Copies of this chain bind each other. A is one copy, B any other.
Amino acid sequence: MLDFTYAVSTKVLFGKNKIERLDQEVEKYARSILLVYGSESIKKSGLYTTVTSLLDKADIKYVELSKVPPNPRIENVREGIRLCKEQGLEFLLAVGGGSVIDCAKTIAAGLYFDGDPWEMFLHGDSVIKDALPIGTILTIAATGSEMNGNAVISNLSTEQKLAIHHDVLRPRFSILDPTYTFTVPPNQTAVGIVDIMSHVFEQYFSPTADAYVQDRLAEAMLKTCIYYGPLALKEPMNYEARAQLMWTSSLALNGLLGYGKVTDWATHGIEHAVSAAYDVTHGVGLAILTPWWMEYVLSNETVEKFATYGRNVWNLSEKNNQIAAKKAIGKTREFFKSLKMPTTLRDVGIKQEKLNSMAKQAVFLGNLGKVKKLGEQDILAILQNAF
């Protein structure tokens, strides 16, 4: 086990009607807030009214930043910073999924950054010094952004999608009410399941051989996704299925699985290059790329881990490591297919002539991955296989 510092400071209010404690939680930090949300769906569901009524009742001033898109843009961030500065706002409340939360986090950090916020993504996390406190009300189980300090933002003008990470970006509180995800449509539910599983894979597959408890915890979360994912699709209002996926999404990327080991993140790096160029939904990109990444990095060094994955997660009884590993990758592909995910880049309209520039963009900040270090040519090969 490698050394680590564990500091997962987010308070999670989990369950039905936990929203009732919103005003109490916000009041600990601020009297005026930026309310960040995405599409009109929170208005249709009634959540918008619930939130604003609670804020009004507690006499908390709020200014709105709405229409934050999936794959949020640096322009949204700039607009949020402008609003906070103009109105002297003290807190950010994100109501939505990972995109909305990531946008709020970047605004929060950008307010303390001297320069255009995009520069934070180019200069590395050490330029982040502080951030306005944020809180979240989660409406989709996927990114885990509700309990961590990561944020991913797109810059369409440069065809880049990059990430920042800092403990000051961890939400102070997150309200997780599984009933808010009852109305998440099947495709987005599936995409969320893939996203959660991909976060686990990125940390599970690792050059750190000694990470026994972390690996068993990771398998526990994968099994939960495999068990409850199909159920949530079949019965969108099954509370338990929605609750298990929601809590697993938070646990999968709050630090628990990655502390004490080296983590990979190559598949995310490649996917970010793909979705920066095509605005493909993140989870769809991951569903396509993950099995191809697995096949590409399968080697004598990694075969045992893939076989363990097959035995512990997919209950394979196969004794031969090579066969077990290949079967495990096959099971992963089948499972994503059963969630109605596309299996090739061609399926989502990507053009072959774009692969070269995506590979180049993927290594913009250096080679990707730790299980196997991937240079531009490796990534191009994976993209071609996945085409």
- A-side interface residues toward B, CB under 8 Å? 1-9, 11-16, 18, 178, 210, 212-213, 216-217, 219-221, 223-224, 227-228, 240, 243-244, 247-248, 251, 256, 259-260
Contact = CB atoms under 8 A, between A and B. Distances in A.
A4 B11 contact: no
B1 A18 contact: no
A12 B5 contact: yes
Given A9-B9, A228-B212, A243 B14 contact: no
Given A212-B227, A213-B224, A14 B219 contact: no
B248 A224 contact: no
A132 B251 CA distance: 30
19 contacts: A1-B243, A1-B244, A2-B15, A3-B18, A4-B15, A7-B11, A14-B259, A14-B260, A210-B244, A212-B224, A212-B240, A213-B244, A213-B247, A216-B220, A216-B223, A216-B224, A217-B217, A219-B220, A247-B260
A244 B260 CA distance: 10
Contacts of A224: 212-213, 216
Contact of A217 (B11, B178, B220): B220
CB-based closest 4 A-B pairs: A3-B15, A216-B220, A6-B12, A1-B243
A256 B13 CA distance: 14
A14 B4 contact: yes
Contacts of A228: 212
Q: How many copies of this chain sit in the oligomeric assembly?
A: 2
A15 B3 CA distance: 4
Given A3-B14, A3-B15, A216-B223, 18 more contacts: A1-B15, A1-B240, A1-B243, A2-B15, A3-B16, A3-B18, A5-B12, A5-B13, A5-B14, A8-B8, A9-B9, A212-B228, A213-B244, A213-B247, A213-B251, A216-B221, A217-B221, A219-B220
Contacts of A243: 1, 260
Nearest to A7: B11
A105 B216 CA distance: 32
Contacts of A2: 15
User: Which of A3, A12, A18 is most buried by chain B, counting CB atoms within 10 A of its CB?
Assistant: A3
A99 to B, nearest CB: 23
A12 B3 CA distance: 10
A228 to B, nearest CB: 7
A260 B16 CA distance: 12
Contact of A5 (B1, B11, B227): B11
Nearest to A242: B1
A286 to B, nearest CB: 21
A17 to B, nearest CB: 9
A14 B6 contact: yes
A320 to B, nearest CB: 19
Contacts of A251: 213, 256
Given A3-B18, A217-B220, A244 B212 contact: yes
Contacts of A260: 14, 243, 247
Contacts of A16: 3
A18 B1 CA distance: 14
Nearest to A174: B6
